[in-house]
Amino acid sequence: MRCLLIITLLFIQSADYFVYSRRLLFGRPIDKHGFLGLPRTTLKQSEIESIAKEQWFEQKLDHFDPTNLLTWKQRYFINDDMFNRSNTNSPIFLQLGGEGEASAVWLKEGQIATNYGPHYQALQILLEHRYYGQSRPTQDMSTENLKYLTSEQALQDAANFIEFINEKYGLNKHKWIVFGGSYSGSLAAWFRMKYPHLVAGAIASSAPVQAVLDFEDYLKVVDESLGKKCVREIKSATDDLTELIKSKNNWPVIEKKFKLCTPFNGTNSLDVSNFFGNLAGNFEGVVQYNKDNRAFEGGSSITIDDLCSVMTDLNSNINSTDRLAKVNQILLKSQSQECLEFKYDDYVKKMLVVDFDKTEVPSARQWVYQTCTEFGFYQTSDRNDQPFGHYFPLDFFIKQCIDIYGSEFNKNFLEKSIQFTNNFYGGYNLTVSNVMFINGLIDPWHALGILEDLNPTAKALVMKKTAHCADMYPDSSEDPSELKSTRNVIKQMIGKFIQ
């Protein structure tokens, strides 16, 4: 699992800590999409393998077509170190994989493995989500084959899997709890809603439960987290840049200042959109993961304060545009990137690769497909009062759906898909019991989450100063007290669920 999540979407910077793939669009982790990436850990590969060996489960390709008998192999990991099999009060903790490769590190590090798991002597299992990592239902990711990539199929995968494990290990008397962060947090809540007979409860961290095509409020939360002064300087830089790009004499200057990989041409509006999107992405990524101890996961330790102290440093003799360029350089350096990629066509070309093993952007084609068919979540520049310019409106994102998957993925299609998703799960109005929703107000995704108790057993925990999925990471000496107490409440709540 990952608090992958999720997130922000589209797109792309590297999450892979061995190969730094270049940032293609919006400076987002390739494997992260704003959610969590592959865990960075000090453990060696052999140590990770010794946490839990990968295992495979024969899974149905299409749960909703009884006549389709095709199957594929879904990957999972089990850690039974703490499990007390002879005590039927010992629960089973199922971490649901999200939109990226699953890693057994989550069965050894992170809150579930180090805190809740040992406390309850739980059997810990991690199930990889179909189409991500090594769980490959079809030969490739052609648009035709991706039709089996839906959250509903993934939920039914988990239901099948639970029955299989109960039978295989004779665990019928033990209670299950599902966990997830970001997209997989939504899956956890939805799983409890649809299959209450299979799990006693769900812990949903930073879960965006409401699908939305134009997630313009994402930048609203980013602004609030950055603060007025910082936002003012960003706006001033954006305004200046907007003037600069009008004259082609300035293009080579922009190329140099922002360390672009290829020459800048201000008449190519898609590249310009992507360029400004990348500059916004520099701030978005840092806000989303501000101080959340994600060094554990390969994230950078750059904080909002680091970036905003550069932007608001009026004593330095450089103007706001140059300060924005400096922020960009800090981010490039932290990601070991030589230069900033911003060519739209290059991005689309990479996204068109359907071979699981040949793609340079693991998980990206799959997750963007899910945004184009189920969730939207596009972090557009459509809000009036945000400082990043209006270069990446909704149509820019819809164009990506069309260019990558085909002309039928147009605006009308997307609107209907999102309507379906909210109708199917209930959006903000989902009706569940025994679910704990956890959000941090610095995290822009909280805008799509559950922030108030739905009923006495479906509760919301809101932290004022934490970022995306902060509750899921290992303890750190810098953890604020609200985070510590949240983890305690979660721990107690699990106890109530399995009583």
Ligand X SMILES: *[C@@H]1O[C@H](CO)[C@@H](O)[C@H](O)[C@H]1NC(C)=O
The token pair that represents 274 in the structure block: 């992507």
- Determine the residue with CB nearest ligand X: 427
Assess 236 for contact with ligand X (CB under 6 A): no
- Cβ proximity to ligand X: between 46 and 172 the closer is 172
Alpha carbons 392 and 398: distance in angstroms, whole number: 11
Q: Please select the residue that binds ligand X; options are 61, 84, 196, 480, rule is CB under 6 A.
A: 84
Residue 86 makes contact with ligand X by CB under 6 A = yes
67: number of Cβ within 10 Å: 5
Nearer Cβ to ligand X (15/310)? 310
CA dihedral 207, 283, 26, 147 (to 10 degrees): 0
Taking the complex as a whole, the smallest distance from the CB of residue 269 to ligand X amounts, in Å, to 10
Query: Contact region for ligand X (CB under 6 A) — 44-52, 81-89, 166-174, 323-331?
Result: 81-89
∠ CA(331), CA(444), CA(396), 5° rounding?
75
Which residue, 74 or 321, has its beta carbon nearer to ligand X? Answer: 321
DSSP of 130-148:
TTSTT--SSSS--TTGGGG
Is 443 annotated as catalytic? yes
| 412/420 Cα distance (integer angstroms) | 12
Q: Is-catalytic flag, 468?
A: yes
Q: Considering the rule CB under 6 A, would residue 322 count as an interface residue with ligand X? A: yes
Q: Using CA atoms, how far apart are residues 75 and 130, in angstroms rounded to an integer?
A: 9
Q: Which residues contact 280 (CB under 8 A, 6 or more apart)?
A: 26, 219, 222, 381, 388, 392
Nearer to ligand X by Cβ, of 467 and 494: the residue is 494
319 is a site residue for ligand X (CB under 6 A): yes
**321 or 335: CB nearest ligand X:** 321
Pairing of strands 71-79, 123-127: antiparallel
Binding footprint of ligand X, residue count (CB under 6 A): 16
Q: Which of 104, 151, 106, 105 is nearest to 130 (CA)?
A: 151
The answer for residues whose C-beta is within 8 angstroms of residue 283's C-beta and 6 or more apart is 222, 226, 234, 307, 327, 388
Q: Which stretch binds ligand X (CB under 6 A): 80-88, 107-115, 324-332, 380-388?
A: 80-88
Where in 156-185 is the site for ligand X (CB under 6 A)?
A: none
Identify the active-site residue in 16, 214, 223, 443. 443
State yes or no: residue 267 binds ligand X (CB under 6 A): yes
User: Which residue of 68, 429, 431, 455 would you call a contact of ligand X, by CB under 6 A?
Assistant: 429
**What type of residue sits at position 319?**
N
What span, in angstroms and rounded, lies between the C-alpha atoms of 203 and 445?
A: 16
Of residues 388-427, which lie at the interface with ligand X (CB under 6 A)? 422, 427
For the bound state, the minimum distance from the C-beta of residue 275 to ligand X, rounded and expressed in Å, comes to 14
Nearest approach, Cβ of residue 84 and ligand X (Å): 4
> For ligand X, which is the closer residue by CB, 36 or 310?
310
Query: What mask of x and - would describe binding to ligand X in positions 430 to 469, judged by CB under 6 A?
Result: ----------------------------------------
Contact string (CB under 6 A) for ligand X, positions 28-67, x = contact: ----------------------------------------
Are the C-beta atoms of residues 470 and 445 closer than 8 Å to each other?
no
* Neighbouring-strand partners of residue 179: 95, 203
Give the nearer residue to ligand X in terms of CB position, either 301 or 319: 319
Catalytic one of 182, 225, 320, 417: 182
Q: Which residue has the tokens 């101890």?
A: 293
Task: Give the binding range for ligand X (CB under 6 A) out of 15-23, 83-91, 160-168, 289-297.
Answer: 83-91
Q: How far apart are CA 98 and CA 323, in angstroms?
A: 36
Q: Which of 157, 468, 471, 479 is catalytic?
A: 468
Distances (CA, A) of 40 to 2, 36, 110, 199, 300: 12, 11, 11, 30, 11
Minimum CB distance to ligand X smaller for 92 or for 222: 92
Which residue stretch of 148-156, 216-224, 288-296, 314-322 sits at the interface with ligand X (rule: CB under 6 A)?
Answer: 314-322
- Asked if residue 26 lies in contact with residue 11, where contact means CB atoms within 8 angstroms, the answer is yes
Q: Is 80 a catalytic residue?
A: no
Tokens of 76: 């999972």
Q: Tell the burial category of 309 from Cβ atoms under 10 Å away from its Cβ (0-12, 13-18, 19+).
A: exposed
Q: Which residues does residue 458 pair with via DSSP β-bridges, in sequence order? A: 435, 455
- Report, in Å, the least distance between residue 252 CB and ligand X: 9
- Closest distance to ligand X from the beta carbon of 102 (Å): 28
- 233 conformational bin, left if phi > 0, alpha if psi -120 to 50, beta if neither: alpha
Indicate the residue among 145 and 268 with the shorter CB distance to ligand X.
268
Question: Which residues are known catalytic residues?
Answer: 182, 443, 468
Residues making contact with ligand X (CB under 6 A): 84, 86-87, 240, 248, 265, 267-268, 318-319, 321-322, 422, 427-429
